Each structure stands twice: as C-alpha cells, then as structure tokens.
Amino acid sequence: KAGVTQTPRYLIKTRGQQVTLSCSPISGHRSVSWYQQTPGQGLQFLFEYFSETQRNKGNFPGRFSGRQFSNSRSEMNVSTLELGDSALYLCASSLAYPRSYRDRGGTEAFFGQGTRLTVV
C-alpha cells in the first residue's frame, strides 16, 4: 500500500510569488491535514479537509489556503510569499474524521515526507 505522497519535495520561490503544494493520501483515506514545520515554531497546524470540506483551520493568515478533490487528493496554496514562509510543509493522511467523542482517539495520522519550501 503506497504511503502519503507529497510533491514536489523541494521548491525555491521568490518573495511575492505564489506556490501550490500537492498531497496524495493513502488509498481509502479521506482526511488530509497540513502542518508547517519550522525550527522556531515547531509543528503548527494549518488546516484539515475531509470529504472536500475544510473541517478545521489553524491560526494562519488568509494567504494560506487549501482544497481537497473528490479523490481525496489535497493542495495547499500560499500567495504573496514571505521569507518567513520558508519551512517544511507536511501532509497527514487519516482514515476518517471522528464522528463522535467515543472514536476520537484511535485515528492515527500518516505523514508524507514533506515539501521543503525556501523563499528567497
């Protein structure tokens, strides 16, 4: 079974440009979450999509956006890039969105290798 695939692995962009990152979850998984990892801030939650709907959003500016397609693949977009957006962007795939308090805990996340974005 293939794992979570993120493309591209590396990107170099110039300030002010925009970028689109892609994530293909594990087959059958319908939830995709995105995280930003930086040395200073650690791992920060960006947003989560389930069944093409954004279910949850972290505390990031509106320049960060995402979407999910009917095949569960997800993209995230960052517009008007800033130097501080340089980071490793990780995608996490989960089987489902917990529908009740009772089954909240067992859903583990499988992470991709990430996309390393460098803004110059």
Partner 1 sequence: GNSVTQMEGPVTLSEEAFLTINCTYTATGYPSLFWYVQYPGEGLQLLLKATKADDKGSNKGFEATYRKETTSFHLEKGSVQVSDSAVYFCALKDTGNQFYFGTGTSLTVIP
| Interaction between residue 24 and partner 1 (CB under 8 A) | no
| Interaction between residue 112 and partner 1 (CB under 8 A) | yes
Of 78, 81, 90, 119, the one binding partner 1 (CB under 8 A) is 90
Of 24, 31, 68, 74, the one binding partner 1 (CB under 8 A) is 31
Min dist. Cβ of residue 94 to partner 1 (A)? 5
Question: Could you tell me which stretch among 11-19, 66-74, 78-86, 104-112 binds partner 1 (CB under 8 A)?
Answer: 104-112
Min dist. Cβ of residue 67 to partner 1 (A)? 17
Q: 94 with 31: CB under 8 angstroms?
A: yes
How buried is residue 53: exposed, middle or buried, by Cβ count under 10 Å (0-12/13-18/19+)?
exposed
Name the residue among 74, 84, 69 with its Cα closest to residue 21.
Answer: 74
Task: Output the CA torsion 33→39→42→47 (10° steps).
Answer: -30
Compute how many other C-beta atoms are within 10 angstroms of the C-beta atom of residue 102: 8
| Interaction between residue 108 and partner 1 (CB under 8 A) | yes
Of 1, 14, 105, 120, the one binding partner 1 (CB under 8 A) is 105
